[in-house]
Amino acid sequence: MSAPVNSACPPWCDQPAGHLHVETAGPGDYHISAFTLIDLPEIPGIREGTALQVAIEQYVTSTTTYDPLISLGIGDDDPDSEALTLDEADALAAALHRAVTATRDGQARQIPNGDGPT
């Protein structure tokens, strides 16, 4: 019998100490951070109300500690989620930031000072 690899929690894991249960020849377990929930209220005609869930998870088996992944889910309950590597999550965040900046810059040019709501 070998002890589980690295059963200590990484600093970001917010589960109770000793939560990890890894069977020697069975399935592994996950370190998980509490997800960040971003509420997305309904925009009539555009989208129904839903939520974005961002979580960190790391799969550990008795022989392998996998790289942590960023889980991105859409939906209130039991969301469809996609796990991203840190580099992929970084690229997504950068792309979102660029898109927001480009859009806000465009709006700033379209609306002259004093013409829009304050």
Pick the stretch among 12-20, 41-49, 63-71, 79-87 that binds Zn ion (CB under 5 A). Answer: 12-20
Closest distance of CB 7 from Zn ion, Å: 8
- Contact between 9 and Zn ion by CB under 5 A: the answer reads yes
Q: Which residues in the 81-110 window bind Zn ion by CB under 5 A?
A: none
- Contact between 15 and Zn ion by CB under 5 A: the answer reads yes
- CA dihedral of residues 32, 38, 43, 49 (deg, nearest 10): 40
Residues recorded for the chain: 118
Q: Spell out the SS3 assignment of 33-68.
A: CCCEEEEECCECCCECCEEEEEEEEEEECCCCECCC
Contact with Zn ion (CB under 5 A) among 13, 55, 60, 70: 13
Question: Which residue, chain included where needed, has tokens 């939560």?
Answer: 19
Closest distance of CB 58 from Zn ion, Å: 8
First-to-last alpha carbon distance for the chain, in angstroms, is: 68
Closest distance of CB 20 from Zn ion, Å: 6
Applying CB under 5 A, which residues contact Zn ion? 9, 13, 15, 31
